[in-house]
Structure 1
Amino acid sequence: MDIGWIGTGRMGTAMAERLADAGAALTVWNRTLAKAEPLRDRGAALAGSPAELRGKPVVFTMLSDDAALEAVLTGDDGLLTGIGPVPDVVVDCSTVSPETSAAARRACADRGAAFLAAPVSGNPGAVRSGRLAIAVSGPRDAYDRVAPLLARIGGSVSYMGDGDSARLVKIAHNLLLGVLTQGLAEITVLAEKGGVPRHAVLEFLNSSVLGSVFTRYKTPAFVNLDFTPTFTPPLLNKDFDLGLSAARTLDVPMPVVELTARLVRSLVDAGHVDEDFAVLLAQQAAAAGVELAPENATVDDGLGS
């Protein structure tokens, strides 16, 4: 299938690579064109604007926020602006608000395109190891058409029904992501202050019923203080804002999430904007009077890395 792809950040590139490696004919656009160059080496063509992808049957988008999605769909040289054909299906894998998703769905419907919300769970390492999870909502016939492509990108694909229900699922997922990471930071610092090396307590945790794919692939960051970004505090802060907004709308009290949101926001306020959100560990250690140092231990991230 001739596929368009918009957005080649860390996640977008890893996801598009899986389609290219499966033999898909890809044409790619990114605002900073140089970031799309690695996909050229995998046989992808580069587009000069989103408008150049209008004739593709299916176009994927993987973007940083609501404004970016609005711009590529309905902005100047957008996918849905101007005259001529538009894609049959637009598949948006970004994490955006339900309101922006609904507006994108309406804009696509006005031009005769189906819109699928397909937010994802995982980082680039999870993508490349085939462990990405995808939640999808939208018209069932459009989902059935692109399901084989989604299966090439992700290790699991879950259809949530019509509309934008997948957005709420993804936002809820990211709230838990932040809460789990803060909790992991707290117990790790507690154990370290009591004289237990981080790699030891995390090895025990990962081997227990509480261990998970997530705790394993955060272990190298916690043990060796490698905060190379997979997901930054500003992006997590955005998702906490979205989640708490949904909680207010649905009248759901979320006291633990609210507290974690304040801690995530304090990371951003302190200038931690280009690191991985696992830097919550460093913030927790500072609050406990613990001076962290890399343990330089070889630990398994569970992804074969």
Structure 2
Amino acid sequence: MTNTNNPLRIGWIGTGRMGFQLAARLLKAGHEVAVYNRTRPKAEPLEELGAVVVDQPIDLADRDVVFSMVSASADLEAVTTGDAGVLTDEVVAPRVLIDSSTVSPVTSVKVRAAATERGTEFLAAPVSGNPKVIAAGKLTIAVSGPLAVYEEVESLLHALGRSVTYVGEDEVARLVKIAHNVFLGVVTQSLAEITVLAEKGGVSRAAFLEFLNDSVMGSVFTRYKSPAFVNLDFTPTFTNPLLRKDFDLGLEAARSLEVPMPLASATAQLVAAAIGAGHVKDDFATLLLEQGRNAGITLEPQDVTVDDGLSPA
């Protein structure tokens, strides 16, 4: 789809923590990008990289490819088919709409239908990562929709991160992302449990996690979360309310597909308990604090330098 003699005109909707960094990657790769964000000042710093900031999603309707990355299902409907949405111009519509939000398959179906009605191809392309993962060049993307359309825009998607996987037709990428985030929560709760067990038995969190990360059980994720667990720095990358939303979506899918998920169900309750305890704005790694409280110990920062394994690319 890319033509060096006639470069693509790209639109980007949503410049939160993730969207801002991804739009910046496209700009740094030399693409022409116009951006919209509900709170305009959050998008304006992208002007320094060459972006044009617009006032409404409909202002991006004449773009070749429009990406969207918003917080929830209702937000996606608002920026696509709501007042002044990108699909509401009576004359023009984007050739391709690529949505990277984490939303329900039901909403994705509705937006796909609206796009098709306007002659716009639609790809669901949710991502795995956070701003630091993006900076390290390790973002991963699952994509579903028409294979031919995916192949046309694949090079654009590869500009965003390390790995792009086509997973099938229609909305299946949504299920892939929801399953991923449910696993994220279950793994984090399990990591909190064994870390508190080790500490209550007399092992420092730093020592335990160093051992774990160097073993076959260690992973990119356990290493990445280790600084937060050791030093109790809960600067948010992903919050408990957002995690609860994804558990709700995952358990809803499990019910509809008749798949029992006892571990996920139990973890969803622990995430809800963390929210009830007031951990709503900090990182979801605060599950560790609740595990410590339930075990009868008060965790303290250990002030140890811990490598998170995410050096910038």
Q: TM-score normalized by structure 1?
A: 0.99
- Distance apart, 1:272 and its partner CA: 1.4
1:223/1:294 contact within 8 Å kept: yes
Q: The residue matched to 1:26 in structure 2 has which SS?
A: strand
Q: The residue matched to 2:310 in structure 1 has which SS?
A: coil
Q: The residue matched to 1:85 in structure 2 has which SS?
A: coil
Instruction: Give the equivalent residue in structure 1 for 2:249.
Output: 242
- Distance apart, 1:144 and its partner CA: 1.1
1:117/1:167 contact within 8 Å kept: yes
- Distance apart, 1:56 and its partner CA: 0.3
Given candidates 227, 230, 246, the residue that maps to 2:234 is 227
Q: The residue matched to 1:261 in structure 2 has which SS?
A: helix
Q: The residue matched to 2:159 in structure 1 has which SS?
A: helix
Q: Number of residues paired by the alignment?
A: 305
Are residue 198 (structure 1) and residue 205 (structure 2) matched?
yes
- Distance apart, 1:271 and its partner CA: 2.2
Given candidates 86, 94, 105, the residue that maps to 1:98 is 105
1:231/1:276 contact within 8 Å kept: yes
Instruction: Give the equivalent residue in structure 2 for 1:5.
Output: 12
- Distance apart, 1:37 and its partner CA: 2.0
Q: What residue ranges of structure 1 are gaps of 5+ in the alignment?
A: none
Question: Equivalent pairs: percent with the same residue?
Answer: 60
Q: The residue matched to 1:153 in structure 2 has which SS?
A: coil
Given candidates 128, 138, 160, the residue that maps to 1:153 is 160
Counterpart Cα distance in 2 of 1:271 and 1:60: 34
RMSD in angstroms over aligned alpha carbons?
0.8
Are residue 107 (structure 1) and residue 125 (structure 2) matched?
no
Given candidates 174, 178, 199, the residue that maps to 1:167 is 174
Instruction: Give the equivalent residue in structure 2 for 1:76.
Output: 83
- Distance apart, 1:304 and its partner CA: 1.2
Runs of 4+ in 1 over 4 A off after TM superposition: none
Equivalent residues in 2 for 1:51-90, closer than 5 Å? 51-90=58-97
2:13/2:37 contact within 8 Å kept: yes
Letter matched to residue 15 of structure 1 = L
Q: TM-score normalized by structure 2?
A: 0.96
Letter matched to residue 122 of structure 1 = G
Letter matched to residue 169 of structure 1 = V
Letter matched to residue 37 of structure 1 = E
Counterpart Cα distance in 2 of 1:100 and 1:271: 30
- Distance apart, 1:266 and its partner CA: 1.3
Counterpart Cα distance in 2 of 1:97 and 1:247: 13
Instruction: Give the equivalent residue in structure 2 for 1:257.
Output: 264
- Distance apart, 1:48 and its partner CA: 0.5
- Distance apart, 1:173 and its partner CA: 0.4
Q: What residue ranges of structure 2 are gaps of 5+ in the alignment?
A: 1-7
1:4/1:58 contact within 8 Å kept: yes
Q: The residue matched to 1:11 in structure 2 has which SS?
A: helix
Counterpart Cα distance in 1 of 2:201 and 2:115: 57
Letter matched to residue 105 of structure 2 = P
Are residue 42 (structure 1) and residue 38 (structure 2) matched?
no
Deviations 1:102-141 (A, max 9, x none): 1111010010001100001111111111100100000112
Q: The residue matched to 1:71 in structure 2 has which SS?
A: helix
- Distance apart, 1:270 and its partner CA: 2.2
- Distance apart, 1:6 and its partner CA: 0.4
1:18/1:128 contact within 8 Å kept: no
Counterpart Cα distance in 1 of 2:191 and 2:26: 34
Letter matched to residue 205 of structure 2 = R
Instruction: Give the equivalent residue in structure 2 for 1:27.
Output: 34
- Distance apart, 1:239 and its partner CA: 0.3
1:119/1:135 contact within 8 Å kept: yes
2:97/2:122 contact within 8 Å kept: yes
Letter matched to residue 49 of structure 2 = R
Letter matched to residue 284 of structure 2 = F
Q: The residue matched to 2:43 in structure 1 has which SS?
A: helix
2:12/2:34 contact within 8 Å kept: yes
- Distance apart, 1:16 and its partner CA: 1.1
Instruction: Give the equivalent residue in structure 1 for 2:183.
Output: 176
Instruction: Give the equivalent residue in structure 1 for 2:5.
Output: none
- Distance apart, 1:38 and its partner CA: 2.2
- Distance apart, 1:33 and its partner CA: 0.7
- Distance apart, 1:290 and its partner CA: 1.2
- Distance apart, 1:217 and its partner CA: 0.8
Instruction: Give the equivalent residue in structure 2 for 1:293.
Output: 300
Counterpart Cα distance in 2 of 1:296 and 1:150: 39
- Distance apart, 1:39 and its partner CA: 1.2
Counterpart Cα distance in 2 of 1:9 and 1:239: 18
Counterpart Cα distance in 1 of 2:282 and 2:202: 27
Q: The residue matched to 1:41 in structure 2 has which SS?
A: helix
Given candidates 129, 133, 142, the residue that maps to 1:122 is 129
